Amino acid sequence: MSATVLSLFLWVLISCVPNGNEHWQFAETIPLEGVGIIGLEYHPEKDLFWVSDGDNNRLIKVDNEGKTVEDIHQFSRPMHLSYRDEILYLAEYGADRIILIDGEEMVSIPLPRAPDAPSSIDVDGNRVAVADFYNHRIILWDEEGDYSFGVEGNEDGQFHYPTQVRFYNGKLFVADAYNHRIQVFDSNDRSHLQTIGSDDGMNATTGLYVDEDGIYATDFENSRVLIYTHDGKLVQILEENIDKPTAVIKHKNTLFIANYGEQSISRFQLR
């Protein structure tokens, strides 16, 4: 009997932390003085960050000490970034455009529908999704057609100012900012699969990241990052040295968090 209770206790304990006993722990702050950071992506080979500096209307490259090494280009309120297959995508919120940056080449992608303040883009093969902030919808298309969906509201499949989209494993994850939650859809048929985080007290879910280990969401007003399993179970809340986060990205055992409030990037390690 006691062995059964002990086994149950151990199982509960293990299931409460990501990857067994590993937890995310704060490691360092990378200062970004004068940078109104919104979007964040990481170039692992060069150990550099791309940062969209919304306040100063520019896209910059920053090293691991926070020094701006390249002022890439001026954009009108650049927002979330996505780095896929060595191509960087940028949502230009103030100009209603999506920009593709491939080396020196920089082009505006034609969209099947006109967005009003696009806040994020992500790409999965030939499929593209854009968070259309003011129209409370997701513009979704591929070479076969336009599958845009969503209206303003707080029911499943409705949005209240979506701010970021991410594809992962045939699913589309949406940071539904002012419904304070994440919605998950089948990226093929757009059916609503799951809603995550509704009861966790988030206030403005401004950014998210998804990989095989879980879902990471920025809780802007509460200065937190919430980490979920793919079942939607909350496994850890990060609060230390996080100030008005807008974006979160992961590389191997490192989590980088963009702090709009403190103008910095926080680095967390899985230990």
Q: Which residue has the tokens 């990052």?
A: 225
Q: Could you say which of 70, 71, 146, 221 contacts another protein (CB under 8 A)?
A: 221
Min CB(220)–another protein separation in Å = 5
Min CB(85)–another protein separation in Å = 27
Stretch that binds another protein, among 20-28, 106-114, 139-147, 157-165 (CB under 8 A): 157-165
Please identify, using beta-carbon distances, which residue of 43 and 160 lies nearer to another protein.
160
- Are 161 and 175 contacting, i.e. CB atoms less than 8 angstroms apart? no
Look up residue 131 and give its amino acid: A
Tell me the β-bridge partners of 213: none
Token pair, residue 23, equals 């937890």
Neighbours of 63 (CB within 10 A): 14
Q: How many CA atoms lie within 13 A of 155 on its CB side?
A: 3
Question: How many residues would you count in the chain?
Answer: 271
Q: Could you say which of 38, 111, 130, 172 contacts another protein (CB under 8 A)?
A: 38
Token pair, residue 109, equals 């992608």
154 binds another protein (CB under 8 A): yes
Stretch that binds another protein, among 42-50, 138-146, 153-161, 262-270 (CB under 8 A): 153-161
159 binds another protein (CB under 8 A): no
Min CB(168)–another protein separation in Å = 23
Pick left, alpha or beta for residue 89 (phi over 0 → left; psi -120 to 50 → alpha; otherwise beta). Answer: beta
Residue 79 to residue 253: CA distance in whole angstroms: 25
Please identify, using beta-carbon distances, which residue of 160 and 171 lies nearer to another protein.
160
Min CB(9)–another protein separation in Å = 21
- Are 161 and 133 contacting, i.e. CB atoms less than 8 angstroms apart? yes
Residue 205 to residue 195: CA distance in whole angstroms: 13
Vertex 99 angle, CA 214 and 253, to 5° = 25
DSSP letter assigned to residue 46: T
Q: Could you say which of 54, 115, 150, 214 contacts another protein (CB under 8 A)?
A: 54
Min CB(201)–another protein separation in Å = 4
Residue 265 to residue 60: CA distance in whole angstroms: 14
240 binds another protein (CB under 8 A): no
Please identify, using beta-carbon distances, which residue of 172 and 177 lies nearer to another protein.
177
Min CB(93)–another protein separation in Å = 6
DSSP letter assigned to residue 194: E
Q: Could you say which of 88, 204, 227, 257 contacts another protein (CB under 8 A)?
A: 204
Tell me the β-bridge partners of 247: 258
133 binds another protein (CB under 8 A): yes
Stretch that binds another protein, among 4-12, 21-29, 61-69, 155-163 (CB under 8 A): 155-163
Residue ranges that bind another protein, judged by CB under 8 A: 36, 38, 54-55, 77, 79, 93-94, 117, 119, 133-134, 154, 160-161, 163, 177-178, 180, 200-204, 206, 220-222, 237, 244, 246, 260
